[in-house]
Amino acid sequence: MPRRYLRQELEVRAGENTIYVYNKHGDLIREHKRSYTPKSWVVIPSDMPKEYKDYGYWNVPYFLSKAGNVGPNARTVIDAVVKKFQYPVQSFRSCFGILDLARRYSPAALEWCCHDALKAGRCNYTYIANTISSYCDPDPAPAVAKPTQPVTGKYADDDSRYTLEHLMQNQEVRHE
């Protein structure tokens, strides 16, 4: 919907093939073709915000070049993500998120993860974000001070917390 209807109360009526949108006075604002495909939005280009029409330096060649710096599998994944949408600008947030994983983890981890995403046919941000951690080298274990007492397998606790007097004091504090 155009932004001028943002935060306005609208009525939506769904027909078999068309969605009808009315304002609060009952005037027809817009008709949309209805889509039954999950995550398949019907977009009217004239309704898109101006900042989406030219998204600064974010464009398909920009993301393909950044992905190419990671590796050929990352480039193929980004290309597949862009092709899923009718308008490439709709894929830019996903592409940015995928490429940002190279900064958070490592480019090598992202490249391997993209390789497996391609083999599994799961070229999307969610799959890659959920699996990339398994492609990272585990951090070296921090130096742990050796325990002063031998480990016996028993849980040690301060037994005074469980005396009848202590429990009664806690009970009295709660009721006051």
The one-letter amino acid code at 45 reads P
Domain boundaries, the chain: 3-47, 60-135
Res. 67: pLDDT tops 90: yes
pLDDT for res 73: 93
pLDDT for res 147: 46
Average pLDDT over residues 133-140: 69
Please give the C-alpha separations between residue 124 and each of 10, 98, 118, 168, in angstroms, as whole numbers: 33, 8, 10, 57
Tokens (6 digits) for 87: 């308008």
Q: Which residue has the tokens 């742990």?
A: 144
Nearest to 98 by CA among 82, 119, 86: 82
Average of per-residue pLDDT values in the chain: 79
Backbone angles phi, psi at 90, to 5 degrees: -70, -20
Pick from 48-57, 76-85, 132-141, 149-158 the range whose average pLDDT is largest: 76-85
Res. 121: pLDDT tops 60: yes
Res. 146: pLDDT tops 80: no
Average pLDDT over residues 78-106: 90
pLDDT for res 176: 57
The percent of residues in the chain predicted with pLDDT above 90, rounded, is: 35
Please answer whether residues 5 and 29 qualify as being in contact, where contact means their C-beta atoms are separated by less than 8 angstroms. Answer: yes
* CA gap 159, 64 in Å, rounded: 63
Average pLDDT over residues 116-120: 91
* CA gap 124, 134 in Å, rounded: 17
pTM: 0.51
Query: Cα–Cα–Cα angle for 103, 108, 111, nearest 5°?
Result: 95
Q: How confident is the model over 6-64, as pLDDT tens digits?
A: 888 899 999 999 989 998 889 998 888 888 887 677 776 666 666 555 445 678 888 99
Nearest to 88 by CA among 59, 62, 114: 59
